[in-house]
Amino acid sequence: MTKKIKKFGARYAVAIAFLGCAAIIAASMFLSAPSSAAGKKTKIDTPIIGCGTSTQVSIGINVCAPSGQNATGLPAGFSLQWVTKQAYQLGPDELPDTADDNTWPASDSPGLCKASFSGNANLSRYNLLAGECVLVKVGDFLLDEGASTNCADVLECETTYEFRAFGHATSALNRSDFTGNQECSTLPCGGGDNGNCTLTQGYWKAHGPIPTGNNTNTWPVTSLTLGTVPYTDLELQSIFNTPAGGNGLIALAHQLIAAKLNVAKGADDTAVANDIAAADLLIGGLVVPPVGAGSLPSSVTSALTGALANFNEGGTGPGHCGN
């Protein structure tokens, strides 16, 4: 009987020791849990924005996803808001020297310009990993997959604007905080309405053979050659109406068509002649969608696309019309 009691006692001691160890492990895990939970992110990292290249009618805004350990990126994209500095200083009631000065308009205010860049759209370039950046051009938006805006018009020359942005929410994280304000300005006014001035690709798109709204057709030609391929005005309009969607050929064609229409209208081409020739050489026999199925990587076309855009928007050359 004594031996059985001793064996039972030994087994009981082992069991107690085992349970004790299990309890210690469980307690250790429990105690470490709050530290992990406390550091868990509940919202997307706030984007970083900065001024890019400006023209008389547009401002480039660089939008970056912060980098670093446990950075969220901007997987669902971001939104950008802007108003003129003058409107921001006046405040929502548009009266100077009130308590509302230096205040953003309400989100549903018609005076607030907004653009959304979805990272969830097919072929979107706005799904940013940590440390990645993208350039958006306010005043001459490339409205490709995922991009939309309530202010597609060109900006005012010689004007300072206030910008801010936030990162979109995901299924796991809330939307980010707003960035701080970023001030950027368009270039000084210049040029005129004497014919020796330029208009943006957005203008030509709206004033083509199938004009939008109450606009009329102001194209000075009924056909153009891009590369070595001739296009009718209706084909050129269809190219304007096709989002680039990551195809550098389409983005380049948009600006090349606009540049050639500006020159045909009477704008001095001294500042852009070499860029036009280089663009035609690069395009060659490729047929631009939707007329054809040509394609070029944006990395190959971006420099020429930017140079042509600067001419069309008044950054180089004779200046933008009407400023």
DSSP three-state, residue 321 = coil
Supply the pLDDT for residue 311: 94
Supply the pLDDT for residue 191: 65
Q: How far apart are CA 79 and CA 82, in angstroms?
A: 10
**Residue 64 to residues 51, 113, 128, Cα–Cα distance (Å):** 12, 20, 8
SS3 content of the chain, % helix, strand, coil (to 5): 30, 20, 50
Report residue 255 as tokens. 């600006």
DSSP three-state, residue 226 = strand
DSSP three-state, residue 98 = coil
Supply the pLDDT for residue 4: 45
Supply the pLDDT for residue 134: 94
pTM: 0.70
Q: How far apart are CA 314 and CA 323, in angstroms?
A: 9
Supply the pLDDT for residue 52: 93
DSSP label at residue 99: T
Report residue 279 as tokens. 């663009």
Supply the pLDDT for residue 101: 57
For residue 135, is it left (φ>0), alpha (ψ between -120 and 50) or beta?
A: beta
For residue 77, is it left (φ>0), alpha (ψ between -120 and 50) or beta?
A: left
Q: Which residues of 288-307 are buried (b: 16+ CB within 10 A; e: fewer)?
A: bbebeebebebeebeebbbb
Q: How far apart are CA 208 and CA 305, in angstroms?
A: 21
Q: Which domains does the chain have, with CATH numbers?
A: 48-185 (2.60.40), 201-312 (no CATH)
Supply the pLDDT for residue 165: 98
Q: How far apart are CA 112 and CA 103, in angstroms?
A: 11
pLDDT tens per residue, the chain (323 residues)?
444 444 444 444 444 444 444 443 343 333 333 333 446 789 999 999 999 988 888 899 999 999 999 999 999 999 999 999 988 887 655 544 334 457 888 888 888 999 999 999 887 889 999 999 999 989 887 767 788 889 888 888 889 999 999 999 999 999 999 999 999 999 888 766 667 899 999 889 989 999 888 889 999 999 999 999 999 999 999 999 998 877 999 999 999 999 999 999 999 999 999 999 999 999 999 999 999 999 999 889 989 998 999 999 988 999 888 65
Note if the bond before 289 is cis, omega within 30 degrees: no
Supply the pLDDT for residue 184: 97
> Do the Cβ atoms of 309 and 255 come closer than 8 Å?
yes
